[in-house]
Amino acid sequence: MSIQDDPVQREIHQDWANREYIEVITSSIKKIADFLNSFDMSCRSRLATLNEKLTALERRIEYIEARVSGFEGIHRKVLFT
Amino acid sequence: MPLVKRSIEPRHLCHTVLPRGIKNELECVTNVSLANVIRQLSSLSKYAEDLFGELFNEAHSFSFRVNSLQERVDRLSISVTQLDPKEEELSLQDITMRKAFRSSTIQDQQLFSRQSLPIPLQETFDLCEQPPPLNILTPYRDDGKEGLKFYTNPSYFFDLWREKMLQDTEDKRKEKRKQKVRGNDRTLETEKVPRAPHDRKKEWQKLALGAELAEDNSEEALKEREANGSATYHDRSGAPMYLEGMDGPFSLAALPYSQMNELLNRPGDRMYTRPHDPPPLPPMHPLGDIKPPSMISSSSGFSDSRPQSPAQMHGFNSNTPPPPPPPLPPPPPPLPSMSSSGPRGTPPPPIPPLPVQQQTPAIPPPPAPLQIAPGVLHPAPPPVAPPLHLSSPARLQQILDKGPPPHQSDGTVLPPPPPPPLPLPGARISSPCPPGPPPVPSFLSGAVGSPASHSSGKKHSASLPPISDARSVLLEAIRKGIQLRKVEEQREQEAAKHARVGNDVATILSRRIAVEYSDSEDESEFDEGDWME
């Protein structure tokens, strides 16, 4: 049985090694996916904050421009996205 | 549970069918797993690229905005250094004639339409089974609709809502017109009466032995008036009285004679017929309670209770006279300018809350109406929110005395309404005539038409004496505006009937919203403001 054991054992050994290898790869893939998700979320939230600040700034600038230029060039702008 | 946006393709590495005739199955499984791992990596990289692409696009658009902002800031800084305080124009005309400041309102629309679907979700959607090809039947249909629309229509709810909005705006316009008509009648009636009761009151006061007796006399006089149905006097006394203190004799007194008749004829509407003059809802009490609800409901009524609209018509009658509502949510700049121009003792009240709620507008019908009202309606002085407790006839006199000054300043008061209404009418009028008129032309025409569109009040103001020559141009514009408005009404009807909306829908829709809110708030004379993202 030792001879049979060796090849079978070797195979099983090899199989276990392969599986561990694959497992390492798949867990790395999962980490990458996880990282991408969290990066996406954080990026979007930061961009949204940026967006809010930009919008607030734009409104303030419009107001200041109106005050400085004396309402002449102000038309009612209604923009839709 | 979050929606899966991107799913990596081979989900199970080894759930494959092994081919037969393989000796070393373990190796086979290993190799299959490794191949699937590679496929997973490829789909992962594809999704990562897509993800970063989306983020990049957003950041890129932000960079554009930031750059333009930077330029504007630079220009501003330069122009500020060039500002010369001596060049400031301080003429009254300028302050009143200038257009009110309106910031550009960018509204997010059509957020969840088919076009805004992200790409990975679109791909997932494409994997689904297609609906049956009912569109091949479309050429054979009589009514011209697409065949697939009967099976599945993604824009169904949106269309439904759009139709409802259209309908609402039309209804409100009609009601407004009716109210204007009635307002015209009422203002004509009330204009004739004003001075007589006042004289009587003075006589009474002269005869008074003391303050208390004078009050009693005034109350008796009011009761007599009530019995006689001379409502206008009551209105004048009631309105200025700001009703909180004065309920009993005045609450009923507020009804004009004509309204009383209507009241008798329409029992169901009794609750709402008050209003009449004091456009601004003096928070009246309970019989006076009827008034505030009526006033508030009248102002917010359209939004709240549509079925009551006929009943509220009466309620709006009072509001229409003050009409030329500076429809716009009196943004702070115009307010101060207007308040400065109008020597109102009553501060332009809590207008800020305006844009947000529809019920608050009941109280606000702000300064603009205040300023317009005096000239138009009559000396009901800016009965603004501040509930003045008028108990003494002396105060009555004060209030009545305020009447004349409003007349004098009426001319100056007029201009403010035109500027504020200008922007709105531009939106209003453009909404019914959707695609064609770009905002500016319609805006300009609306600007002319706005004064007229805003009400009989303006017509009355046109007819009233105290308009200085400087305003003659404005008068002509108003008259032209009246004509323009008729034409545009027709156009509006046509446009509404044809429903050419198409997919300019977003803009039209939001304009309808603006119109609707401006209509509903016109009674309370406010514009929608907070439809921001």
ipTM value for the complex: 0.82
Given this model, what pLDDT does residue B23 score? Answer: 83
**AA letter at B485:** R
- Distances in Å between the Cα of B247 and the Cα atoms of A26, B225, B290, B396, B437 are 80, 15, 11, 14, 51
Nearest to B13 among A22, A40, A63 (CB): A22
B26 in reach of chain A (CB within 8 A) = yes
Candidates B195, B264, B263, B253; CA nearest to B226 is B253
pLDDT for position B465: 56
Q: To the nearest whole angstrom, how far is the Cα of A56 from the nearest Cα of chain B?
A: 11
Beta-carbon separation of B24 and A62 below 8 A: no
Strand partners, B33: none
Residue among B40, B72, B104 minimizing CB distance to A29: B40
pLDDT in tens, B478-516: 777 776 667 777 777 666 654 555 455 566 666 666 666
- Tell me if A74 and B99 make a contact (CB, 8 A cut-off): yes
Q: Do A11 and B26 touch (CB under 8 A)?
A: yes
Q: Which two tokens stand for residue A59?
A: 């409104």
Q: Which residues of B touch A29 (CB under 8 A)?
A: 8, 37, 40-41, 44
Nearest Cα residue to B421 out of B341, B286, B323: B323
- The string of DSSP codes covering B156-172 is HHHHHHHHHHHHHHHHH
Measured CB to CB, residues of chain A less than 8 Å from chain B are 11-12, 14-15, 18-19, 22, 25-26, 29, 32-33, 36, 40, 43-44, 47, 50-51, 54-55, 57-59, 61-71, 74-81
Can you give the pLDDT at residue B2? Answer: 80
Please enumerate in sequence order all residues whose Cβ is within 8 A of that of B382, keeping only pairs 6 or more positions apart, or say none. Answer: B280, B344, B345, B346, B367, B370, B371, B373, B374, B406
pLDDT at A59 over 60: yes
Shortest Cα distance, chain B CAs vs residue A35, angstroms = 10
Kindly indicate the confidence band of residue B56, based on its pLDDT and cuts at 50, 70 and 90. very high
CA nearest to B288, candidates B234, B360, B325: B234
The answer to whether the Cβ–Cβ distance between B427 and A59 falls below 8 Å is no
CA distances, B317 to each of B62, B111, B359 (Å): 49, 40, 18
Cβ neighbours of A50 in B, within 8 Å: 62
What pLDDT is recorded for position A37? 93
Closest CB to B37 among A25, A57, A70 = A25
Indicate the range of A17-31, A66-80, B151-165, B172-186 predicted with least confidence.
Answer: A66-80
The beta strands (E) that lie in B31-183 are given as: 105-107
Give backbone dihedrals phi and psi of A39, rounded to 5 degrees, phi first: -60, -45
Highest mean pLDDT among B129-133, B245-249, B299-303, B394-398: B129-133
> Is residue B32 scored above 70 in pLDDT?
yes
Give the model's confidence band at B61: pLDDT under 50 very low, under 70 low, under 90 confident, else very high: very high
CA distance B453 to B437: 18
The pLDDT, as a whole number, for residue B184 is: 81
User: For A58, which of B69, B76, B422 is closest by C-beta distance?
Assistant: B69
pLDDT of residue A71: 53
CB contact under 8 A, A44 and B55: yes
CB contact under 8 A, A77 and B104: yes
CB-CB neighbors (< 8 A) of A38 in chain B: none
Contact B55 A77 (CB under 8 A): no
- What is residue B153's predicted lDDT score, i.e. its pLDDT? 85
Mean pLDDT for B73-80 is: 87
pLDDT for position B177? 85
- Give residue B178's identity as a one-letter amino acid code: K
| β-strand partners of B364 | none
* Residue B174 pLDDT class (50, 70, 90 cuts): confident
Please answer yes or no on whether A54 and B65 come within 8 Å at the CB atom. Answer: yes
A74 to B511: CB separation less than 8 angstroms, yes or no: no
Note whether B102 contacts A77, CB cutoff 8 Å.
Answer: yes
- With CA atoms as reference, report the closest residue to B227 among B207, B204, B249, B244: B249
Tell me the average pLDDT across B274-302.
42
* B127 vs A13: CA distance, rounded Å: 41
Question: What are the beta bridge partners of residue B105?
Answer: A78
Cβ of B102 within 8 Å of Cβ of A36? The answer is no
CA-based nearest distance B100→chain A, Å: 8
B-chain CB neighbours of A69 within 8 Å are 79
Q: Give the whole-angstrom CA distance, residue A58 versus residue B335.
A: 22
Question: Per the CB < 8 Å rule, is B76 touching A40?
Answer: no
Interface test with A, best of B5, B12, B23, B37 (most A CBs within 10 A): B37
Of A36, A64, A81, the CB nearest to B106: A81
**What per-residue confidence (pLDDT) applies to B333?**
42
pLDDT surpasses 50 at B475: yes
Does the pLDDT at position B6 exceed 70? yes
Contact B103 A79 (CB under 8 A): no
Check residue B343 and give its pLDDT: 41
B483 touches chain A (CB under 8 A): no
Determine which of A36-50, B135-149, B402-416 has the lowest per-residue pLDDT on average.
B402-416
**Amino acid symbol at A17:** A
pLDDT in tens, B298-353: 444 334 444 444 444 444 444 444 444 444 444 444 444 444 444 443 443 434 33
Question: Which residues does residue A78 pair with via DSSP β-bridges, in sequence order?
Answer: B105
More confident residue, A78 or A14: A14
At residue B396, what is the residue type? L
Q: Does B119 touch chain A (CB under 8 A)?
A: no
Q: CA-nearest residue of chain A to B511?
A: A78
Average pLDDT over residues A10-32: 91
Q: CB contacts < 8 Å between A and B, how many?
A: 123
Chain B residues with CB under 8 Å of A26 CB are: 13, 37, 40
CB B335 within 8 A of CB B494: no
**Is B440 touching A (CB cutoff 8 A)?**
yes
Judged against a pLDDT cut of 50, whether residue B87 lies above it is answered with yes
* Distance from C-alpha of B405 to C-alpha of B160, rounded to nearest angstrom: 51
Residue whose structure tokens are 């009202």: B373
